[in-house]
Amino acid sequence: MKAYRDLSREELLAQKTGLEAAYEEAKGKALKLDMSRGKPSPAQLDLSMEILDTLGHAADMTARDGADVRNYGDMDGIPEAKELMAGLMGVKARSVIVSNNASLTLMYDTVARSMTHGVMGALPWNRLEKVGFLCPVPGYDRHFAITQHFGIAMIPVAMTPQGPDMDIVEKLTAADKSIKGIWCVPKYSNPQGYVYSDETVKRLAALKPAAEDFRIFWDNAYAVHSFYEDRQAVIPELLSECEKAGNPDMAYEFCSTSKISFAGGGISAVAASEANLKDIRKSMAIQTIGSDKVNQLRHVRYFRDMDGILAHMSRHAAILRPKFETVLRTLERELSGLGIGAWTKPQGGYFISFDAMEGCAKAIVAKCREAGMVLTAAGATFPYGKDPEDRNIRIAPSFPAVSEMEQAAELFALCVKLVSVEKLLRTDEKR
C-alpha cells in the first residue's frame, strides 16, 4: 500500500468509501471499550487480593519499632514501610516519608506548601509576580492540572526518547528565576513510555537554576513496571546524583504502589534530602497525626521486600504484555507505511503515545467515541489541554480484556485512516 499522501484524489475517494463502510459496520457492533485512563484491569487487581488476609483480627499489629499501627503517631511511616518504599525508589530509608494511597496527593501538597509557605525559607510562590514550571510534552495531564490549579505558568519543553530536551531545560532554568520546577516521569514516561538516559538524569541533577527554590518533581510512578524481565530499564538514582553534583536539595522523588497492589488502596512515599524533609514535616505535623499505618504494615507483611515486589510485578507484566503487543502489532499491520501516524513502542509502563497527522487528533478521538471506544481527550497530554498541532493521542491498553484489544486497536486504526483521508481530501480541495 502506498503512502496516503502519494494517492491520487480518485484513489483517496475510493479509500474513503471503503473506510466509511467499515466504520458503519464497526458502529453497528455497539462496542463499549474504555481506553481513557491507565487503570489496572480487574485481573491485575485480583493479583493482590491475598493482601487483605495478611492482617486478620488476631494478627500482631505491632511495627518493628514497637509502635501499635492502629494508633496515632509515626508521621514518617513505620520503619519497615520506609525501607520497602526506599527499595522501590533506590534511596536510603532515612530519606523517605510514607503516606497514604496517592502520590498525586503528595505532589499536590508539595506545590500547595510551596505556594503558601515557600521552600526552605524562600519567599512563598503566591507572593511572587510570576511562577513558572517546565512541562515536558507530551506529558501527564494530572501533573499539568496541579500547576494549572495554582495558576502557575506552564512552559512546554519537547520530550525526546532520552527525556526532556536538556539544552532547553538548562537554558531556561539558568536564565529565569521565576521557573520553580519541572515535572518528570523518568521511567516509562506518560504517555510515550520513554526511559530517561543516564546523561539526562545527570544533567538534570547538575542544573544551575537561577531560582534557589527550583525543584525537580520526580514522579517515579513506573519504577518496577517493565513488560520484559530481560529488558529491565535502569536509570541513575536522582537524589544521589543531585548530591554528587552539589545540589542535594534540588529534587523531590515520588512513588506509590497504586499500580502494584490496589489502585485505590496502596501506599505512597516522597523521598528527599534531610533539609527538604524537615521543611515537609513542618506542614505535615499540622496536616496529620500520621498516615494509615495499618495499610503500611499490610503491604510490608505481604510483599516483605523488593524481591517480593518484583515477583509480583512479573505477574502484572504477564497480563499487560500481551495487550500492548496486540496494539503494537495491529498498528504496525494496519498503519505502517501509510505516512499518517507514528507511535512509540514502550517496554513498560501504561501507555502508548500516538502522533497523527497535524489537525487530526480530536477528530480521531471523536470518531472512536462515536463507535464505542473512549480515549483520553485529545490535547490532554499538553498544558491547558491544548495540543498546538492537534496530533497527540494517548492510548491506554491496560483496562480492557485481552480479548477486546485487537478489536479496539483495529477500530482505532480504522478511525486514523478515515480521518486522515478526509484531511487529505480537504487539503487537496484547497490547492
- Report residue 13's pLDDT band, with 50, 70 and 90 as the boundaries: very high
Q: In Å, what is the CA distance from 133 to each residue of 58, 105, 149, 249? A: 49, 18, 13, 17
- For residues 292 and 75, give the distance between their C-alpha atoms in angstroms, rounded to a whole number: 10
- For residues 120 and 277, give the distance between their C-alpha atoms in angstroms, rounded to a whole number: 10
Q: Given this model, what pLDDT does residue 402 score?
A: 87
Query: Which of 401, 427, 431, 428 lies closest to 39, judged by CA?
Result: 401
Q: 61-304 maps to which CATH number?
A: 3.40.640.10
| Residue 398 Cα to chain centre, angstroms | 13
Query: Which of 246, 397, 420, 371 lies closest to 319, judged by CA?
Result: 397
Query: Could you read off the pLDDT of 254-296 as tens digits, one per residue?
Result: 999 999 999 999 999 999 999 999 999 999 999 999 999 999 9
SS in 3 state form for 71-113?
CCCCCCCCHHHHHHHHHHHCCCHHHEEEECCCHHHHHHHHHHH
Q: Where does CATH 3.90.1150.10 sit in the chain?
A: 4-44+310-430
- For residues 24 and 1, give the distance between their C-alpha atoms in angstroms, rounded to a whole number: 23
pLDDT at residue 23 is higher than 70: yes
Q: Given this model, what pLDDT does residue 430 score?
A: 58
Q: Running DSSP on this structure, what letter comes out for residue 383?
A: G
Exposure of 270 in the CB half-sphere (CA atoms within 13 A): 28
Task: Look over the chain and give the mean of its residue pLDDT values, rounded to a whole number.
Answer: 96
pLDDT at residue 431 is higher than 60: no
> What average pLDDT does this structure show over 10-26?
96
Domain 4-44+310-430, architecture per CATH: Alpha-Beta Complex (3.90)
Tracing cell 480521531 back to the chain, one arrives at: 364
Q: Given this model, what pLDDT does residue 37 score?
A: 87
Q: Is the peptide bond before 138 cis (omega within 30 degrees of 0)?
A: yes
On whether the CB atoms of residues 62 and 281 are closer than 8 A, the answer is no
Which residues make Cβ contacts (< 8 Å) with residue 421, sequence separation at least 6? 4, 12, 15, 16, 19
- For residues 264 and 261, give the distance between their C-alpha atoms in angstroms, rounded to a whole number: 9
| Other Cβ atoms within 10 Å of 401 Cβ, number | 13
- For residues 239 and 241, give the distance between their C-alpha atoms in angstroms, rounded to a whole number: 5
Report strand pairing: 352-356 vs 392-395: antiparallel
Q: Given this model, what pLDDT does residue 427 score?
A: 87
- For residues 221 and 139, give the distance between their C-alpha atoms in angstroms, rounded to a whole number: 13
Q: In Å, what is the CA distance from 27 to each residue of 22, 43, 88, 410? A: 9, 28, 44, 13
Tracing cell 496516503 back to the chain, one arrives at: 4
pTM of the model: 0.96
Q: Where does CATH 3.40.640.10 sit in the chain?
A: 61-304
Tracing cell 532520552 back to the chain, one arrives at: 162
Query: Could you read off the pLDDT of 30-69 as tens digits, one per residue?
Result: 889 988 889 999 999 999 999 999 999 999 999 999 999 9
- Report residue 428's pLDDT band, with 50, 70 and 90 as the boundaries: confident
- Percent over 90 (pLDDT), the chain: 94
Query: Could you read off the pLDDT of 145-180 as tens digits, one per residue?
Result: 999 999 999 999 999 999 999 999 999 999 999 999
Q: Given this model, what pLDDT does residue 429 score?
A: 64
On whether the CB atoms of residues 131 and 182 are closer than 8 A, the answer is no
> What average pLDDT does this structure show over 380-404?
95
Q: Which three cell numbers stand for residue 399?
A: 483496562
On whether the CB atoms of residues 389 and 358 are closer than 8 A, the answer is yes
Tracing cell 507511535 back to the chain, one arrives at: 343
Which residues make Cβ contacts (< 8 Å) with residue 124, sequence separation at least 6? 114, 115, 116, 117, 118
Q: Given this model, what pLDDT does residue 403 score?
A: 85
Element spanning 135, H or E = strand 132-137
- For residues 398 and 366, give the distance between their C-alpha atoms in angstroms, rounded to a whole number: 21
Query: Could you read off the pLDDT of 184-216 as tens digits, one per residue?
Result: 999 999 999 999 999 999 999 999 999 999 999
- For residues 100 and 106, give the distance between their C-alpha atoms in angstroms, rounded to a whole number: 9
pLDDT at residue 311 is higher than 60: yes
3-state DSSP assignment of residue 343: strand
> What average pLDDT does this structure show over 340-357?
98
